[in-house]
Copies of this chain bind each other. A is one copy, B any other.
């Protein structure tokens, strides 16, 4: 299989002028601005992150790259290239693999990034696909998850919950949004929501050595969260789904109250930015009560098994 398929991939692999040496040698060579390279990697597996029997392979390939672009977005890094490796079942039709890559190429074209290389394998087990993405920090540097301070406002892009109904495959990584925000505003901390709003918010708070106080009334709930709640009828409210489902791939951002003011008035993105609470001195995750007190909020989300 390999020769024919690798030739096919190579002939279609998008290249930008930042790819000095592409597929076909022992390694690729990338050019990055400012001697800094932002790197991230995720592996997706059939039966865990997608179900290949029920899913167009294009959506699987697209997701495998998109989750990595979402990680670059969370750093406010500009994507440059990706490397794609997979182990596919030996009886996988070539068409399936081509469609897998067609999904990857959708995003490489959209973001003008190169496919710099990878490793193609077959075995007697289900598909596992591993993507490593490379980016370069914007001129204003990269944004980490540990820069929030008590008093900072918690902002989020978009809405949350119910991604399982399809958005976990077709989401738009917030690359353009993160770069646009980083260019105009001082962002203190940022993370993308892969494992659940409450868990990922808790991670920002913990990394920053502070706590997070959430006004639950302000959490933007996705229509899918309502649909899933109704569909399952298991007592989980739409808000529960919004807080715990994960794979929303929206951004949580910590900014000073002054920057938050400006940002909420500007609404500079095509998607809504909402204030859902603030970082506080006391560690942990909290919910704001109507009487002005606070109570612990359970951290829920997807823990990788």
Residues of A with Cβ closer than 8 Å to B? 1-3, 20-21, 24-43, 45, 47-48, 71-72, 74-75, 77, 81, 83, 85-87, 90, 116-126, 128, 130, 132, 134-135, 137, 142, 144-146, 191-192, 207, 303-305
Contacts and interface: CB of A to CB of B under 8 A. Distances in A.
Contacts of A25: 75, 144-146, 207
A126 B119 CA distance: 18
29 contacts: A2-B305, A25-B144, A25-B146, A26-B191, A27-B40, A27-B77, A29-B39, A31-B35, A31-B37, A32-B32, A32-B35, A32-B36, A32-B37, A34-B35, A39-B116, A39-B134, A41-B85, A41-B117, A41-B130, A43-B86, A43-B87, A43-B128, A43-B130, A48-B121, A87-B128, A90-B305, A119-B130, A120-B304, A125-B128
Given A43-B87, A122-B305, 11 more contacts: A25-B144, A29-B36, A29-B39, A32-B36, A34-B35, A35-B35, A45-B87, A47-B124, A87-B128, A121-B305, A130-B130
B123 A48 contact: yes
A121 B304 contact: yes
Number of copies: 2
Given A29-B137, A74-B26, A207-B24, A85 B123 contact: no
A41 B2 contact: no
Contacts of A2: 303-305
Contacts of A119: 41-43, 130
B118 A41 contact: yes
A27 B31 contact: no
A302 to B, nearest CB: 10
A8 to B, nearest CB: 14
A200 B25 CA distance: 11
B21 A142 contact: yes
A305 B123 CA distance: 8
A102 B25 CA distance: 29
A3 B304 CA distance: 8
Nearest to A3: B303
Given A31-B36, A38-B29, A43 B304 contact: no
A39 to B, nearest CB: 5
A178 to B, nearest CB: 10
A144 B31 CA distance: 16
